[in-house]
Structure 1
Amino acid sequence: MFPAVSIVVPIYNEFDNLIALVDRIDAAMRSQPLSYELIAVDDGSKDDSAKRLLELAATRPWLRPVILARNYGQSSALQAGFDRVQGRYVVTLDADLQNEPDDIPLLLNRLETDPSVDMVSGWRKDRQDAAISRKLPSKIANRLISNATGVQLHDYGCALKAYRRHIIDRVHLYGELHRFIPSLARDAGARITEVPVRHHARTAGVSKYGIDRTFRVILDLILMVFLMRYRQRPLHAFGGLGLWLATPGFLILAYLFIVKLMGESIGGRPLLIIGVMLVLMGMTFVAAGLIGELLTRIYYESGGGRQYYADDYVIDETGGPPRMVRLDAHAAREQTVQPAAASSL
């Protein structure tokens, strides 16, 4: 029997927090009726976090430690957990106990009672961090990301989130895209809401964030905007930029050609170099777009990715007037997988 809820926690050098983290998550989940598992992913910790996880799991069958071979980063640690989830709901939170485990039932209750929501994102409305070093950059980043991606959230950085399983199955993390999970989820068809959650100051361990994070966020945001808008049509991005560069270049060269026909010398004019450079740069971008289109076609036609995601609807047979309801993707997968497995025996 699969658990109803899978909780994924990436861990890096959180030895001092692990006992309290595991016990508080257990206490929070015992206060609600859904069964659960805790997938704790150690991301190559340099302290004894992995050893402590194994010790805790020996007396807690619902705790599933995952020990990565080295430090791969938070996105890879989350993906390792996502690859192992079994529940129809998936919850994520940080291991530093700044997120409040007692808020997990609040997010799950929203998913249970509101079928129009696929993802519930926590909002640290009363954030307990330094105003200058953490709060101000976070507010700027949240506004920038919301405007660039079109997913309006107050708090992209809150790790406490809950998802329906089929959304997690559609999201694939790499690099440092964990910051943009709401955008990736929306791209996968998720309907997102936001609820205020509690936040605590760190009491043990050391923060893993530095000022260089700001520059990485900007670069990753550029990648996210490109993926969301041009992933299936790269020629529109590169080719459009190429035409904007090449068009003035062609006009400059046409003008110089007319001047040349009139008998004037154009060899020493800087305008000639500018025109040639613009044309060459424009054609390079167009060529890059064409190569991108070919790679995209190969990728999708070979089954490397999905061009779309869709929900299936069936007639509600539980009574009452006929109506269409969305088929639960996790339940549908179990119905299709189990008969196939039985027939192979």
Structure 2
Amino acid sequence: MQHFPFTALQGQQPLQTALLLAAIDPLLGGVLIEGPRGTAKSTSARSLAALLPSGRFVNLPLGATEEQLVGSLDLEAALKHSAVQFRAGLLAQAHQGILYVDEVNLLADGLVDLLLDVSASGINRVERDGVSHEHAARITLVGTMNPEEGQLRPQLLDRFGLFVRLDNVPDVAQRKAIVKTRMAFDADPAAFMVQHEAAQNALAWQVVAARDSLAAVAWPDAVHDQVAQLCQDAGVEGVRADLVMLRAARAHAALAGRAAVTLADVDAVAELALAHRRTQAAPPREQTLPGEAARNDETPGEAAQAPAPKNTDAPEGGEGAGPANDPPAPDWGAMPPPQSTAIQPVKALRPFLPKKA
């Protein structure tokens, strides 16, 4: 089955970048794609698999059990032959390839947690009745979700390495380009693949070369400073965002064939690492120093009010001033001065007595 070529995707540059980075460094922790229906989430993930040497694409169904995911140990064979026999699960099948989870927000939290553990470590461990087995599972985890159908718990959301939020098609021209490209592929997939073969081969070679050179790419101190400042400004919790951003910037530099990470690499991946971790910090409140309101002839409650307009018809000698011997006019709304009142005697009241029967 031929899948839509990765290089022919239209209008999905941030998504393509995130997927390529995760393919180059699977230990980034996967990519979470959030967006409405019909925004090429699954198409992009399937297209990425064609760029990998293994070409593996494994789909995790929502009804999968933990045993189907991690595999199981054949204890009967172990008792008969005194050897551990492992039945491979979906994680073993996706090794060096793509593990795709559609609507990951509807998956059980325990399975999502397990997926993220394996994605970040690259190792799958299976333990059952005192017998354990482990195998390499360097998977590129790609999860998708529609926010209308529920959200992931913050603890799980933070553990996804990169995050991409897709919006609806922004304009008519881009909508037309996407539809024309897809219709051309559906009409003649073979001819369409031939048309993009050169670009696909070049990008596949870039991915392989970036994987091979990834460990040798250096991080200058200026890059560490930039990453720390961006994460501090975003108010993220912990240092997972720092680690993810550094690894993503290194993968970005390796994809470009550079021997060291640059500040431009950090800028290119910063939002992918911070979009789902950024917190909204409240702006600092303006504080009034003690006595400041009195110096400004304002009460604290009137500090934010605009001054009253000046009366241009007032006579000289001050605004609203009258003759020199006239008493000043009281402020509008002011309370009248207190007045003394003589104490009046109170007549004695007859006590309340019940009526006689």
Structure with greater proportional helix content: 1
TM-score (norm 1): 0.26
Structure number with bigger Rg: 2
**Bigger relative CO (Cα 8 Å, ≥ 6 apart):** 2
